[in-house]
Structure 1
Amino acid sequence: MDRPAVRDAMLLILRVVLGVIFVAHGWRILLIDGIAETTGQFSAWGVPQPALSAWVAALGQLLCGALLCVGLLTTAVAGVLAVFVAAAAYLVHLDNGLFNVDGGLEYPLVLIAALLVIVVFGTGRASVDGVLSR
């Protein structure tokens, strides 16, 4: 039995939870750890163009996370964030095994899967996209 209201509520919860996580990560890079510290960490991990990558990570996560929370440009934003996380998984987590406690792929894989749910199923009616598409 199809229950659009339940689907929309679950997509809203998923969007907001993911959006808050990404806003928090962007906020941390930008205002807590700082770009200089993040650049140093990215450099140690072998991330290409660490200074530029730090800015892209900070602003990208902050902006895309906020857009995800309100549901604006949702599928595109979820796709962009999935690419960000996939890049982090490849550059940082791949050599650390599966488990998150060891810095492994566990958490990035869960984030990618959740973001792909939004890419595939959309934003739901409880979003700016949903209101604009009516």
Structure 2
Amino acid sequence: MNNPALRDAALLLLRVVAGVIFIAHGWHKAFVLGMDGPGGTTELYAAAGVPAPAIMAWFTAAAEMLGGALLVLGLLATASAAVLALFSLVTLYFFHWGHGFYAEGSGIEMPLILIAACVVIVVFGSGRASLDRVFSRFS
């Protein structure tokens, strides 16, 4: 693609959409399901065989909300996308892989598309419409 403005607009759209999805998933883990109690995120992590489920539940929710916000802002976007891609791979393994496509709420399509979005951001960067670009001018 030889049109830098179009490339940057596409990266902005990808960052914002992926970031909002990650924020929503982190929020859901922390505040909708809740961390403790029946049906809480910690219980779901324990049932799936996630090591140290209480720690990982909080860590995942925080990483998704913070990483998602950083993607939306385009601040440390490449590093955030790399971390979120790894989290999505782990999620794919523990929660989605056995369900295949189209399983109600647990199919592999969502983590796969989020991994792909994160890889694109890692490879191409955050684009010119980002705080990374603004701060790079001062260094």
TM-score, normalised to structure 1, is 0.94
2:111 is aligned to: 108
The question of 1:118 aligning with 2:105 is answered no
Q: Helix, strand or coil for the counterpart of 2:7? A: helix
Q: Helix, strand or coil for the counterpart of 2:21? A: helix
Q: Helix, strand or coil for the counterpart of 2:9? A: helix
Pick which of 1-10 and 66-75 moved more. Answer: 1-10
1:17 is aligned to: 17
Pick which of 30-39 and 81-90 moved more. Answer: 30-39
- Looking at structure 2, the residues matched to 69 and 51 of structure 1 have their Cα atoms a distance apart, in angstroms, of 27
- Residues 1-134 of structure 1: pairs in structure 2 closer than 5 A: 2-36=2-36, 37-101=40-104, 103-134=106-137
Q: Which runs of 4+ in 1 moved over 6 A?
A: none
Shift of 1:98: 3.0
- Looking at structure 2, the residues matched to 102 and 34 of structure 1 have their Cα atoms a distance apart, in angstroms, of 18
More helix by share: 1
- Residues 66-109 of structure 1 deviation map (CA, whole Å, 9 limit, x = unaligned): 01100000100000000000001111112222334372322211
- Looking at structure 1, the residues matched to 50 and 135 of structure 2 have their Cα atoms a distance apart, in angstroms, of 38
Aligned-residue sequence identity (percent) comes to 54
- Matched AA of 1:27: W
User: Structure 2: any 5+ residue segments left out of the alignment?
Assistant: none
User: Structure 1: any 5+ residue segments left out of the alignment?
Assistant: none
- Looking at structure 1, the residues matched to 105 and 62 of structure 2 have their Cα atoms a distance apart, in angstroms, of 27
